[in-house]
Amino acid sequence: MIWALIGASTIASQYMVDALRAQPAGTVRWIISGTAVRAAEFAAAHDIPYSDTHLAAALDDPAVQAVYISSTNDRHMDQALGAIAAGKHVLCEKPLALTAKDAAQIVAAAEAAGVVFATNHHLRCAGSHQAVRALIHAGRIGRVLSLRIHHAVHLPENLQGWRINSAASGGGVVPDITVHDADVARFLLGEDPQSVVAQVTSSGLGQGVEDSAMSVWAMPSGAMVMSHESFTHPFAGSGLEVHGTEGSIFARGVMTQQPVGEIEMVTAKGREVVRFEAHNLYQFGVARFCDAVAGRGGVAASGWDGVKSLAVAEAVRQAAATGAQVSVGYGVAP
Ligand code: NDP
């Protein structure tokens, strides 16, 4: 697969360039950035042959088959629509856009154009999350009563830019982390949150955007989800707990970009360590994307998955702003 990168970002630099190149014939041909200096520096640092500030330069290149979009959140929509119009397959970072309505427009455009479109929700690509899901779906903990997601972390200093001070760029912990947690809940439980109540605050980092959020989601099955995200918690650790009528699953240190963590299941029979495959999360997602382009199966997280995770995040913000319980609006999402 021959790729163009749209966005000279940290995630591309730290994880995705390697993940794209890890696939058979995985080639990164272009880097597109908003500034020429950054584009050239990124190209040199990662040995990418072509760089430019104009998206069209990469989209007009017939050798480019797919684009990976990891610019600031406000730019995803125009860039994705441009790539789709050029007939390129698209792997887009979350949140897909600033609103679920805009995200749905992107995904509908991709469907109409017949290109593969995926959302880079990496957590469902983790062996740990896949193991928890398998236990739930095999009925090992009975009927699920509740899910608690602990995702309050410390935002690294090098990322303390637009995420904490620019609502216009799509900053704030809700579009950054709550979207991931919404995808985790949907992936693990196999159902979509119906309504939410929430509070958000700025606890030290956020300037004009929230840096911490706590919310409770009602699922169609009657299960409850409790979700906590923050940029300001250096020592909290991360994890999730799933509690069912026949058992509980404790997954510690699994809300991360690394294939790490520990899982334990507790039932009437006692405690059991759950083993899982420690594969690279991003390589897993890219492999599924490449397979989908080749006509072999579906992507790990679809465009509609990205629309739905953003719809939940939007509802969380609205619930926090109004103090009301908010129904999640999925629009035309199937
Ligand atoms: P960065 O802040 O590193 O990059 C985002 C954009 O900001 C870049 O495209 C670049 O614009 C600009 N930028 C970056 N560094 C600088 C700098 N030093 N000076 C000036 N401009 C700069 O963000 P992330 O890599 O953390 O996030 C990018 C996207 O990826 C977001 O949508 C985020 O939500 C998502 N993400 C997803 C993750 C996942 O696991 N799925 C993990 C982390 C992020 P330009 O391209 O114009 O140069």
Phi first, then psi, for residue 71 (nearest 5°) are -80, -175
For ligand 1, say whether the CB of 318 is within 6 Å of any of its atoms.
Answer: no
Whether 195 and 251 share a structural domain: yes
User: Where is the domain boundary, 83, 118, 153?
Assistant: 118
Look up the CATH number of the domain holding residue 242: 3.30.360.10
DSSP calls for 147-193: EEEEEE-BPPGGG-SHHHH-TTTT-SHIIIIIHHHHHHHHHHHSS--
For ligand 1, say whether the CB of 257 is within 6 Å of any of its atoms.
Answer: yes
pLDDT per residue as tens, the chain (334 positions): 999 999 999 999 999 999 999 999 999 999 999 999 999 999 999 999 999 999 999 999 999 999 999 999 999 999 999 999 999 999 999 999 999 999 999 999 999 999 999 999 999 999 999 999 999 999 999 999 999 999 999 999 999 999 999 999 999 999 999 999 999 999 999 999 999 999 999 999 999 999 999 999 999 999 999 999 999 999 999 999 999 999 999 999 999 999 999 999 999 999 999 999 999 999 999 999 999 999 999 999 999 999 999 999 999 999 999 999 999 999 889 9
For ligand 1, say whether the CB of 306 is within 6 Å of any of its atoms.
Answer: no
For ligand 1, say whether the CB of 208 is within 6 Å of any of its atoms.
Answer: no
Nearest Cα neighbor of 23 from 295, 300, 297, 291 is 291
Whether 9 and 131 share a structural domain: no
151 assigned to some structural domain: yes
290 assigned to some structural domain: no
Look up the CATH number of the domain holding residue 56: 3.40.50.720
Adjacency order of strands within the sheet including 66-69:
50-52, 27-32, 2-6, 66-69, 89-92, 117-119
291 assigned to some structural domain: no
> Does an H or E element contain 79, and which?
helix 76-85
Rounded Cα–Cα distance for residues 131 and 319 (Å): 32
For ligand 1, say whether the CB of 256 is within 6 Å of any of its atoms.
Answer: no
289 assigned to some structural domain: no
Q: Count the alpha carbons within 13 Å of 285 in the hemisphere toward its beta carbon.
A: 25
In angstroms and rounded to an integer, the radius of gyration of the C-alpha atoms of the chain is 19
CA of 158 to the centre of ligand 1 (A): 10
Whether 112 and 50 share a structural domain: yes
User: Where is the domain boundary, 55, 90, 118?
Assistant: 118
**Atom from ligand 1 closest to the CA of residue 71:** 9
Contact in structure between 252 and 239 (CB atoms under 8 Å): yes
288 assigned to some structural domain: no
294 assigned to some structural domain: no
Contact in structure between 69 and 7 (CB atoms under 8 Å): yes
The pLDDT tens digits of the residues spanning 42-87 come to 999 999 999 999 999 999 999 999 999 999 999 999 999 999 999 9
Whether 87 and 128 share a structural domain: no
Whether 204 and 268 share a structural domain: yes
Q: At 189, list the tokens.
A: 């439980």
Q: At 279, list the tokens.
A: 């594969």
**Atom from ligand 1 closest to the CA of residue 162:** 2
Rounded Cα–Cα distance for residues 66 and 28 (Å): 10
For ligand 1, say whether the CB of 38 is within 6 Å of any of its atoms.
Answer: yes
Whether 86 and 111 share a structural domain: yes
237 assigned to some structural domain: yes
Whether 113 and 128 share a structural domain: no
**Atom from ligand 1 closest to the CA of residue 257:** 40
Q: Which of 18, 32, 70 to mutate to test the pocket of ligand 1 (most atoms within 8 A of CB)?
A: 70
301 assigned to some structural domain: no
Whether 129 and 177 share a structural domain: yes
Number of domains making up the chain: 2
What is the span of the domain harbouring residue 90? 2-118
Whether 56 and 86 share a structural domain: yes
Whether 273 and 152 share a structural domain: yes
Rounded Cα–Cα distance for residues 270 and 83 (Å): 52
For ligand 1, say whether the CB of 166 is within 6 Å of any of its atoms.
Answer: no
User: Where is the domain boundary, 94, 118, 142?
Assistant: 118
Rounded Cα–Cα distance for residues 279 and 256 (Å): 13
Whether 81 and 205 share a structural domain: no
CA of 212 to the centre of ligand 1 (A): 20
Whether 15 and 106 share a structural domain: yes
Pairing between strand 239-244 and 144-152? Answer: antiparallel
